[in-house]
Structure 1
Amino acid sequence: MSTTILIADDHAVVREGIRGLLRLDPRFVIVGEAADGETATDIAREHAPDVVLLDLMMPGIGGVAATRAIKAASPRTHIMILTSSNDDELAFAAIEAGAQSFLLKSMRGENLLQAIHYASIGESTMHPSIARRILSAVQQRNQPAADPFGELTERELDVLRRLAEGGSNAKIAAHLGITEKTVKAHLGNVMSKLQLSDRTAAVAFAWREGLMARRAS
């Protein structure tokens, strides 16, 4: 029985390498390729692939938001994150968004093929280092803690929430009825207060710390 697969990575050479590897196993059928999150979501909606090999660091809505969108479009699809990023927050956010497997691109080809086979029968695979960090993060989250967003204003929360949903500065500004300059200022305040380095870290933090599960005001 064939396993249908979608490859989503913004680097053509990576997609080519994965494509060549998958062709070594006749059980795997590639139904599409995507260079950004939006295209990956569209293809998943059309083909409902058994497995999506998804990079986290892609243009557009990014890997975390794409994971959530793909799971909404095709709930039965097994999303396998295949990335070179060691960002703990991003990994945790992707898993909370619905990713079922998380692997590093440095893994051996035969191990990737085996992991895809496991995914096709509903079993998850986690890179050991990622699994350890996620376990540690879960244990820390079980400890009573102050509201991680307590220092943010309601407007800053609105801006962060829209950013985490995949909004550009222009889209956030249009939705909230403010200027792009104001959006940038709010994001600067958010990252300063939360001690985050960039937009990607802000998105990951919002998902990981539960902001997206809160009811928007």
Structure 2
Amino acid sequence: MRVAITSKSFNAPHWREFFDETISVDEVPRDCLKPEVESIWISTAIRGWKQLASSLMESNKVVVILTLSPSSEEAKVAFGLGVRAYLHAAASAELLQNVSTTIAAGGYWLPQDMLLRMVGQFNDVLPAKQVNDSKLACLTHRELEVCREVAHGHPNKRVAKNLGITERTVKEHLSRSFAKLNVKDRMQLMLLMNGNHFR
């Protein structure tokens, strides 16, 4: 059983398709501790969401935070409390299902842009590994520059600004680089650029 707890001022229509129960409250409900509740999804629209999450964690409930305005700082607070996932409250029903599947399997969920930034920050703390130069030799100078920016976890907008090119050009360079390096997405590119090998 999945339960969403939100304020009376915020509710997403598609939640009805996903949650078994949606509780709109101004105060923390007590009945969400029923044994049949597998996961509790708390909206940051609730005053005291941190205290609610903390108390539910003490009751060994799986807690997910639905935020109205995602930020790295808020995500750190949420995961510091022990929650299993942090995502935008307006996420699609399909994404909610993906998150549910991930946490049911024991995993954690973080928005992709935050995850990419976090992986990019590893460049500063992990010992440098040399990427096989022959793998990167197929890239043009500009494609390599774009890939290095992405390896630091920078979004396209920042890559464009740093390199003095348009976001469209960044996308074109990335598209060609993905094909040349035989990678599917930014995460695989980051792992490759950071010297980690994958299949």
Alignment of 1:49-128 (within 5 A): 49-59=37-47, 61=48, 63-73=49-59, 75=60, 77-128=61-112
RMSD over equivalenced CA pairs, Å:
3.2
How far the C-alpha of 1:108 sits from its partner, in A, is: 2.7
Deviations 1:142-179 (A, max 9, x none): xxxxxxxxxxxxxxxxxxxxxxxxxxxxxxxxxxxxxx
1:8 has 2:5 as partner: yes
Answer whether contact 2:8 2:26 (CA < 8 A) is retained.
no
The 3 A distance-change label for structure 1 pair 136 and 70 is farther
Alignment of 1:5-44 (within 5 A): 5-11=2-8, 14=11, 16-19=13-16, 21-22=17-18, 29-30=20-21, 33-36=23-26, 38-39=28-29, 42-44=30-32
Paired residues, what number?
A: 126
The 3 A distance-change label for structure 1 pair 136 and 89 is farther
Unaligned runs of 5+ in 1: 23-27, 141-217
**Where is the helix percentage greater, Structure 1 or Structure 2?**
1
In structure 1, C-alpha distance between the alignment counterparts of 2:27 and 2:79, rounded to whole Å: 16
* 1:49 partner SS: coil
Letter in 2 for 1:46: K
In structure 2, C-alpha distance between the alignment counterparts of 1:116 and 1:5, rounded to whole Å: 9
How far the C-alpha of 1:67 sits from its partner, in A, is: 0.9
How far the C-alpha of 1:57 sits from its partner, in A, is: 2.9
How far the C-alpha of 1:38 sits from its partner, in A, is: 1.6
How far the C-alpha of 1:98 sits from its partner, in A, is: 1.3
How far the C-alpha of 1:33 sits from its partner, in A, is: 1.8
TM-score computed with the length of structure 2 as normaliser: 0.52
Partner of residue 212, structure 1? none
How far the C-alpha of 1:130 sits from its partner, in A, is: 2.8
The 3 A distance-change label for structure 1 pair 70 and 48 is farther
* 2:86 partner SS: strand
TM-score computed with the length of structure 1 as normaliser: 0.48
How far the C-alpha of 1:68 sits from its partner, in A, is: 0.6
% of aligned pairs identical?
A: 13
Answer whether contact 2:70 2:87 (CA < 8 A) is retained.
no
Larger Rg over CA atoms: 2
Unaligned runs of 5+ in 2: 125-199
In structure 1, C-alpha distance between the alignment counterparts of 2:102 and 2:90, rounded to whole Å: 19
